Structure 1
Amino acid sequence: MELPIHERVNAMNLASMAAPDSIIPLFEVADSALLEASFPSHDCTIACDPTWLLLEPLAPAPAVATAVAADPKPSAPSGERRRLCSDVDCKSQARAFGKCKRHGGSKRCAHAGCDKSVQSRGLCIRHGGGSRCKIASCTRASQSLGLCKLHGGGRPCAIVGCDKKAHMKQLCRQHGGGDRCSFPGCDKWVQRLGMCLNHARDRAGDDDFFYSSTES
């Protein structure tokens, strides 16, 4: 026995609610009586296609596009990151005027005629720049612990039992931490230019520069 139209409509609505993801026709394509009963105000003089009433499942939401991390800035070439001294064969870092501190890339001592680099107060170590020994009346440059080498500053010799101060290679001169003057017949220790202080001063002709080399 065929159900009344209104019961058939209710049955189809319940079926569509029970399976919302399925394609369920509300009406049979040829059931024009049911169509007209469901939509009494529908203008049947216009050709209608009941297949328009098919329920289709919703399309999945598009995936949210994640922000792409920007490429990191390329690191500066080593030449830009660390400029070298323009002096021939020098590998030290340039400080000013394209030169390292040794080759003129820093301020010069304010003392007349001195071309050494400034340490502090506009002066080189020789003329009062840098830290001084904390012993009263001592004007020598401090090496460590606020003391000059004469008063206990500086690194000790690495040889066990030796209480002398290291000069080169963590060794005192007696244990290989220094060289002898290159001047023929001289056995003094090297101070400047591969020579002892006297022979280096004679060659350079600059008494002020080589005077009291232990302070620098």
Structure 2
Amino acid sequence: MTTPLDALSGDMEIVELLSTVFSEEYTRGVAASAHAAATPPPDTRPRKVCQTDGCHRTIVSKGSCIRHGGGKRCQVDKCDIGAKSNGVCWKHGGSRTCKWSDCTNHSKARGLCWTHGGGKPCATPDCNRTSLQGGHCWAHGGGKRCNQDGCQRPAYERNLNFCTIHSTQRPTPPSNGTGGD
């Protein structure tokens, strides 16, 4: 039985696009299949790089990557964010919502939001939680920890990398540096 992905793998332009944009998924999908042995390797032409100095991402359109202005933009007036679907960005309804019943959050992965298991799973065997920074969930050492000595609570950048308890206990510096005189 031929899958839609097998049918697309014969078109070299699509193969190149899939291999650069969705390299991980493409490698697991087409390249891992038995059909991949008979498929010629993707075109090895040098990829075109974004024209912005210091950027090494692949161009999408107009000589730029998505971050630097390539690709379609949201159709809502004065919105410069890249369009997701239906011609609008995630802020204006262009992303999918979580498939969990009665949930209106944006989906991250596998059709689920962060709360309901979307995102990359924890790298610890037999753990079904979502991973954070470092590839593990909070319980297995992922994410940032509080800067307070001996505290292992989750830390947040908005609290200058302190937990919610220690962020409120820090002394606030004087606003003008004169000591209030």
- TM-score, length basis structure 2: 0.49
